[in-house]
């Protein structure tokens, strides 16, 4: 996939290209964060670039139902 810099200049565009490192599901932009709807993790966006690091993720209350807690501190 050829990434046009203009297409990845917004967090929304980034989110379409990225996957959650914890569960490998798609993520979506939500304000200043990138949120995984599958596991509920919210990743920070630093200087316009999503930081998809599990340790940096914030767990959102969205998480109910099936989820596994692997790798949680």
Between CA 22 and CA 5 the distance in angstroms is 26
CB of 4 to Zn ion, least distance (A): 26
Nearest CB to Zn ion, comparing residues 25 and 32:
25
Q: How far apart are CA 57 and CA 43, in angstroms?
A: 5
Query: By C-alpha distance, which of 56, 15, 65 is closest to 35?
Result: 15
Cα distance from N-terminal residue to C-terminal residue, the chain: 35
Question: Applying CB under 5 A, does 38 fall inside the site for Zn ion?
Answer: yes
In the complex, minimum distance from the CB of residue 65 to Zn ion, in angstroms, rounded to a whole number: 13
Among 23, 59, 62, 63, binds Zn ion (CB under 5 A): 23
39 lines the binding site for Zn ion (CB under 5 A): yes
Binding site residues, Zn ion, CB under 5 A:
20, 22-23, 25, 36, 38-39
């Amino acid at each position: 996939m050829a990434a046009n810099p203009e297409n990845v200049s917004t967090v929304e565009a980034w989110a379409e290209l990225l996957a959650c490192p914890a569960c490998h599901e798609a993520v979506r932009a939500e304000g200043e964060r990138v949120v995984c709807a599958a596991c509920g993790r919210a990743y920070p966006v630093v200087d316009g670039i999503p930081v998809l690091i599990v340790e940096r993720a914030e767990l959102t209350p969205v998480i109910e139902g099936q989820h596994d807690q692997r790798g949680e501190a």
